[in-house]
Amino acid sequence: MTQAENDYREHVFLGHLRHRHNRSQDRLWSEHQAMQLSFLQRRGLRASSTVLDLGCGPMRLGSVLIPELSHGWYYGQDLNAETLTYGEEVLRQAGIPSNGRYTLFASDQFNLSAVDRPIEIAFSNSLFSHLNLNSILTCLLRVRQVLAPGGVYYSTFFVAQPDRPWLDPQPRDKWGQGFCTHPHQDPYHYPPTVLQAMAAQAGFRMDLMRDFGHPTQTMARFRLRRRWW
């Protein structure tokens, strides 16, 4: 991931909420937190699951997911070390001790050497929407290295609108706030067929999950391709 690709190397995600103890009253925090946890629970999250949260941010999801993993483990990866320091503050405020069942690590180019057990569920919300195709392929190849047999990776992205030229900015609306996605700059949009090609290159098969509930993004599911011989 490069600075030109997006600004998360320097930007602390959700930093405007860092010194608020009532984050649950903020829609951007609470609705996304509930949406993500509910999705994982519907998709088979167990107390013994090993979960990798890529681009995990300041523990918006981690603070409610870690308590669910009484016999499992949570790994949170992010590009920005200060965002993870913020995340540790959120975990303490949530009553999760520093020796809890989790590992947070900052890494560039999706270096996952800190992951020391097979991952059953990998997850990322609003990660591919900030990545170019080279970084998406890198991410998929890295995830494949740590995924357990039968494991799955879920990641959201902006679907390119089929009625608009892919090369043009495409307008979006999230809770009344308008913005555009782009083919060449952050935030990025992609046709599903392009990500399916990236998935195949990395050894995955990809399909879309329509029940995630994100107001502007679509959830993709990546499963390891079966080998027939």
DSSP per-residue codes, 113-174: TT--S-EEEEEESSSGGG--HHHHHHHHHHHHHHEEEEEEEEEEEEEPPTTS-TTS-EEEEE
pLDDT at 52 over 80: yes
Tens digit of each residue's pLDDT (9 = 90 or more) over 29-39: 899 999 999 99
Q: Please state, in angstroms and as integers, the Cα–Cα distance from residue 86 to each residue in 18, 50, 63, 102, following that order.
A: 7, 23, 12, 15
Statement: 15-224 belongs to CATH 3.40.50.150: yes
Kindly state the average pLDDT of the residues 124-134.
97
Q: Tell me: the pLDDT tens digits for 135-193?
A: 999 999 999 999 999 999 999 999 999 999 999 999 999 998 999 999 999 999 999 99
The angle that helices 192-201 and 133-146 make with each other, rounded to 10 degrees, is 50
Percent of the chain with pLDDT over 90: 84
